[in-house]
Amino acid sequence: METIWDVIIVGGGPAGLTSGIYTARHSLKTLILDGQKIGGRAHEAHWIENYPGFPEGIEGHKLVELFHQQALRFGVQFHRETVIGITDIGNMKMVSTRGGYYKTKSIIIATGARRNQLSVPGENEFKGKGVSYCAICDGPFYKDKVVAVVGSGHEAVEDALNLAEIATKVYAIPGSKSYSETNLLEKIKQNPKIQLLDGCEVAEIKGRDSVDSILLKGCSIDEVKTDGVFILLEQVSNDNVLGDVGVILDKVGCIVVDRNQQTSIPGVFAAGDCCCSGSQIVTAAGEGGKAALSVLRFIRSVN
């Protein structure tokens, strides 16, 4: 007999795992599909100090493993499969993977988001050891230290200004695009703790146990000493699984949801970084719980 799930959660990061904990605990038949390592980007976090309940901090992989174990305890099933499409067939949804398809009454999309990388030598080597993609998450680790912020968008400019309140010095490196927002650019130029390296591009990130310098190209400075590099390029929503289902995205590819995490398709919800609401584990978990509660109400109405 073909299995029909109450809810399929696409993505096994903090949002997806929290959703699963809530739905399975309420006896909904719950499946999490993820082709990658359970935990998402949180799994790669070297140390997390701002998740409630861990006053001394905790390693990212240990935190998400606790999420995972709690989901298993309540009966969530996990299949390591890559989702390639979602289809709305009225009262039922179909989730297609490379290995087949699954039928479900509801879906929670929790695919997270990925950062564009610089793709320079040393970037992958020093992830979590001086290379970060989230200034809000990791900025406090660099109090009274020297950092570099790479990126030309609004977020990169704002984070350079915020980091200047923590660090002793900030190198602002917009790359070849330069900054587009002139009002924030003036604030950068006026801040004595920020050195603007306009026209420079990062060629390599160097260090031993952690980052200690970056090599530059395209400008008169060849190398700067730094304790950390914040790479804040454009954030890309992992929306490729949506296909032609009709879920509305905003202009940068983020999933549009209402206050209950409902997408434009009844029975399809979304939570976490794919909604571009802030790259924080606590935010993703909160949205995951809210999406799960919305699924409970939806399933009751369908039944």
Instruction: Based on the fold, state whether residues 223 and 268 are members of the same structural domain.
Output: no
Looking at the structure of the chain, the number of domains it has is 2
Contact 121, 128 (CB under 8 A): no
Which whole-number Å values give the CA distances from 285 to 110, 145, 184, in the listed order?
10, 31, 32
Instruction: Based on the fold, state whether residues 128 and 195 are members of the same structural domain.
Output: yes
Instruction: Based on the fold, state whether residues 287 and 138 are members of the same structural domain.
Output: no
With 0.95 as the threshold, say if the pTM is over it: no
* Boundaries of domain holding 52: 4-114+235-302
Instruction: Based on the fold, state whether residues 134 and 203 are members of the same structural domain.
Output: yes
Radius of gyration of the chain (CA): 21
Residue with tokens 């130029």: 189
Q: Which CATH number is 208's domain given? A: 3.50.50.60
Residue 226 is predicted with a pLDDT of 97
Instruction: Based on the fold, state whether residues 188 and 248 are members of the same structural domain.
Output: no
Instruction: Based on the fold, state whether residues 158 and 247 are members of the same structural domain.
Output: no
The yes-or-no verdict on residue 239 having pLDDT over 70 is no
Residue 1 is predicted with a pLDDT of 66
Any idea what the Cα angle at residue 287 is, between residues 69 and 268, rounded to 5°? 100
pLDDT digits (tens, 9 = 90+) for 7-46: 999 999 999 999 999 999 999 999 999 988 888 878 777 7
Residue 235 is predicted with a pLDDT of 65
Instruction: Based on the fold, state whether residues 66 and 160 are members of the same structural domain.
Output: no
Instruction: Based on the fold, state whether residues 98 and 109 are members of the same structural domain.
Output: yes
Cα distance between residue 214 and residue 154, in whole Å: 23
Banded model confidence at residue 237, pLDDT cuts 50, 70, 90? low
Instruction: Based on the fold, state whether residues 109 and 240 are members of the same structural domain.
Output: yes
| Segment 99-103 mean pLDDT | 91
Residue 193 CB partners (closer than 8 Å, separation 6+): 164, 167, 168, 169, 170
The yes-or-no verdict on residue 60 having pLDDT over 90 is no
Instruction: Based on the fold, state whether residues 109 and 211 are members of the same structural domain.
Output: no
Residue 85 is predicted with a pLDDT of 87
Instruction: Based on the fold, state whether residues 270 and 127 are members of the same structural domain.
Output: no
Residue 117 is predicted with a pLDDT of 83
The yes-or-no verdict on residue 155 having pLDDT over 80 is no
Q: Which of 170, 224, 228, 227 is nearest to 201 (CA)?
A: 224
Contact 106, 26 (CB under 8 A): no
As to burial, measured by CB atoms within 10 angstroms (0-12 exposed, 13-18 middle, 19+ buried), residue 209 is exposed
| Segment 70-83 mean pLDDT | 95
Instruction: Based on the fold, state whether residues 223 and 244 are members of the same structural domain.
Output: no
pLDDT digits (tens, 9 = 90+) for 188-202: 889 999 999 988 999
- Which of 200, 231, 262 finishes a domain? 231
Residue 108 CB partners (closer than 8 Å, separation 6+): 7, 8, 9, 10, 16, 19, 261, 269, 270, 271, 288, 291, 292, 295
- Which of 176, 208, 231 finishes a domain? 231
Residue 284 is predicted with a pLDDT of 94
- Which of 213, 231, 249 finishes a domain? 231
The yes-or-no verdict on residue 133 having pLDDT over 60 is yes
Average pLDDT, the chain: 89
Taking the mean position of all CA atoms in its chain, how far away is CA 219?
A: 32
